[in-house]
Amino acid sequence: QKEVEQDPGPLSVPEGAIVSLNCTYSNSAFQYFMWYRQYSRKGPELLMYTYSSGNKEDGRFTAQVDKSSKYISLFIRDSQPSDSATYLCAMIDTGNQFYFGTGTSLTVIP
Amino acid sequence: DTGVSQDPRHKITKRGQNVTFRCDPISEHNRLYWYRQTLGQGPEFLTYFQNEAQLEKSRLLSDRFSAERPKGSFSTLEIQRTEQGDSAMYLCASSLSNLRSGELFFGEGSRLTVL
C-alpha cells in the first residue's frame, strides 16, 4: 500500500462547477499537508498548506484535513478553465520528508 | 528571475551515454532536493542536500546516479550509462530548513529522453 493514495482521474467539469479532490494516507506521522498545482510540462507550485485538522480557505480554494480519518480534500469553487492542471497532494512526516500523491488531472471546460 | 532554475530543459540522448543536469536553487535556501517524475505519477524523491551535505538518498538512486552540491550553492545530477527507463522529468526543488510553511519551490524540470 502506498503511503499516499490519490485518485488520478481524469476529472472533467464545466466552468463554474465545484471541484472536490481527495487524498488518503496511512502514516500517522504525517503532520503537514499541502496541495500543489502542476501545469503541463512545468514544475509543481504550492497552492495550499495546513498542519491541523479543519478547513483553510484562500479565495476560491478550501483545503480540508481530517486527521482522524487520514483524509484530505481540496475544494475549488467557481472553477475556471485556468484551473485545468494536475493537482498533487503532499505530506511531510516528522523527518521533514515529502510524500506526494500521484496527482489528479483536472480539465475545466468553458 | 529569483526562482529555481534548471538546465537543460530537455535532453535527448542515446542509451549508454552520460547526462548531467544542473540546478540553481533560490539563493537563501539551504535545502535542495532532486525528484523524478514520470507521466501520470507524482514526484518521487531521489536525494536531498542540506547546504553541501547530501543527507539522504532514495533506493531509487542506483549507483549510476550521482548528485553533488559543491559549496552549498548549485547542484548537479549525473546519470551514467543511461537506460530507457531513465526517461523522465527530473525536478529540482529548494527550501529553507524550516519546512513548516510547506513551501518547496520547484524548478521547471529537466526532461530526459533516452532513445
A4-33 pLDDT, tens per residue? Answer: 999 888 999 999 999 999 999 999 888 889
With 70 as the cut, is the pLDDT of residue B53 above it?
A: yes
User: What pLDDT, on the 0 to 100 scale, is given for residue B99?
Assistant: 61
What is the residue whose three cell numbers read 479532490? A21
| CB-CB contact of A17 with A76 (8 Å) | no
User: What pLDDT, on the 0 to 100 scale, is given for residue A7?
Assistant: 86
Three-state SS string across chain A, please?
Answer: CCCEEECCCCEEEECCCCEEEEEEECCCCCCEEEEEEECCCCCCEEEEEECCCEEEEECCEEEEEECCCCEEEEEECCCCHHHCEEEEEEEECCCCCEEECCCEEEEEEC
- Residues on chain B touching A88 (C-beta within 8 angstroms): 42-43
B contact test, residue of A92, A98, A104 with most B CBs within 10 A: A98
With 80 as the cut, is the pLDDT of residue A2 above it?
A: no
Counted residue by residue, chain B has a size of 115
- Residues on chain A touching B42 (C-beta within 8 angstroms): 4, 6, 88, 90, 100-103
